[in-house]
């Protein structure tokens, strides 16, 4: 009874369950109490803001994703969907593998709910049952990949692309330096970078690895993960410059990685949509930085924080 009083009447829980009861094969009340207990035990004492999470029924989620046909990406962590609800709101929906225990799922949800950064999508809610989903606030302006590849969209200008690179680097620095423990399991694919109405980039595929086994493994591979993120960020910068979504299909881009960018003609590398709107000096610098990030191979002497500071100092004109 005292435990229930503590759970129900504590004034500042980091997450409040709302909208409906949890519908699972177990007792909804027991699961709700477990979740509130986890919220209390894992609360962030440095941040007293309350994050209201919405429970969305499987039926509503299925309808919003057009029968789970609006697929954004598919990866080993699960499938990501685009959802449009009846009230007109848009969301990014990520399915979570069901082999995780329910406590692990809730810990993951608590971790993601604490992330507050203008370049990371905010967690909106969840759906649990025979399938589990995390639901993030989306936008009507699509992914970076769509903006780069869809001929019907207005092309991104050079300044837009530079600001996208700076924004993504800022989000990565936040995850690595200001989260405890640091979060390194994040996709920097252009498909997983969502743009809002002001073309502000937001990372949408992040995992906290809340199970103990995954956490230990992630800790052991920390250096490898940091180098992988640098490599992925270098790839993203090349995609912003060239408009090409895969470096493996381009001999010119592979040559860019293997040789000095000073010896390469850029005419065949630059995205034609850029026209002559780019700053040639900035382009050279961004190419050199992309090459440096992609050539790390577990030998990096710098981090994404150094990359962000360099971009901010060299390119941020705002």
Query: Which of the 8 DSSP states describes residue 152?
Result: T
Last residue of a domain, one of 102, 137, 172: 137
Question: What is the number of structural domains in the chain?
Answer: 2
Last residue of a domain, one of 92, 116, 137: 137
Residues 17 and 165 in one domain: no
pLDDT tens series, the chain, 318 aa: 444 334 333 333 344 443 333 334 445 555 555 555 554 444 444 443 446 788 999 999 999 999 999 988 887 777 889 999 999 899 999 998 767 677 888 888 888 998 999 999 999 999 988 889 999 988 778 889 999 988 888 899 999 999 999 999 999 999 998 888 888 888 898 988 999 989 999 998 888 865 444 444 544 456 677 888 898 999 999 999 988 875 554 555 656 566 555 555 666 678 889 888 888 889 989 988 988 888 766 566 788 999 999 999 888 665
Residues 19 and 80 in one domain: yes
Residues 248 and 130 in one domain: no
CB atoms within 10 A of CB 130: 9
Residues 128 and 163 in one domain: no
Query: Pick from 94, 205, 92: which is nearest to 138 by CA?
Result: 92
Q: Is 24 exposed, middle or buried (0-12, 13-18, 19+ CB in 10 A)?
A: middle
Residues 262 and 292 in one domain: yes
75 SS3 class? strand
Residues 148 and 207 in one domain: yes
Residues 174 and 190 in one domain: yes
Residues 28 and 158 in one domain: no
47 SS3 class? coil
Q: How far is CA 129 from CA 31, 59, 107, in A?
A: 12, 11, 17
Token representation of residue 246: 């895969």
CATH number, position 83:
3.30.200.20
The domain in which residue 179 lies consists of 144-315
Residues 128 and 183 in one domain: no
């Amino acid at each position: 009874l005292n435990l229930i009083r503590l759970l129900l009447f504590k004034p500042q829980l980091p997450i409040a369950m709302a909208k409906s009861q949890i519908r699972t094969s177990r007792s909804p009340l027991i699961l709700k109490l477990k979740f509130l207990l986890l919220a209390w035990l894992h609360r962030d004492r440095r941040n007293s803001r309350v994050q209201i999470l919405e429970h969305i029924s499987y039926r509503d989620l299925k309808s919003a994703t057009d029968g789970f046909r609006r697929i954004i990406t598919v990866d080993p962590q699960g499938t990501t969907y685009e959802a449009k609800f009846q009230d007109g709101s848009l969301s990014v929906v990520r399915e979570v593998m069901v082999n995780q225990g329910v406590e692990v799922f809730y810990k993951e949800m608590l971790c993601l709910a604490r992330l507050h950064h203008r370049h990371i999508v905010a967690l909106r809610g969840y759906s649990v049952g025979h399938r589990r989903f995390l639901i993030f606030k989306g936008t009507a302006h699509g992914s970076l990949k769509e903006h780069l590849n869809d001929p019907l969209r207005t092309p991104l200008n050079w300044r837009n692309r530079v600001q996208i690179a700076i924004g993504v680097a800022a989000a990565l620095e936040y995850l690595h330096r200001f989260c405890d423990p640091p979060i390194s399991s994040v996709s920097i694919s252009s498909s997983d970078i969502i743009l809002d109405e002001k073309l502000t980039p937001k990372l949408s595929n992040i995992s906290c690895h809340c199970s103990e086994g995954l956490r230990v493994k992630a800790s052991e591979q920390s250096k490898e993960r940091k180098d992988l993120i640098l490599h992925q960020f270098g790839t993203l910068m090349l995609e912003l410059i060239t408009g090409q979504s895969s470096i493996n299909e381009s001999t010119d881009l592979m040559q860019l990685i293997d040789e000095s960018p000073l010896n390469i003609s850029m005419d065949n590398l630059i995205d034609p949509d850029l026209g002559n709107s780019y700053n040639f000096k900035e382009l050279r610098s961004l190419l050199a930085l992309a090459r440096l990030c992609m050539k790390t191979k577990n030998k990096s002497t710098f981090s994404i924080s150094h990359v962000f500071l360099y971009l901010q100092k060299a390119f941020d004109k705002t």
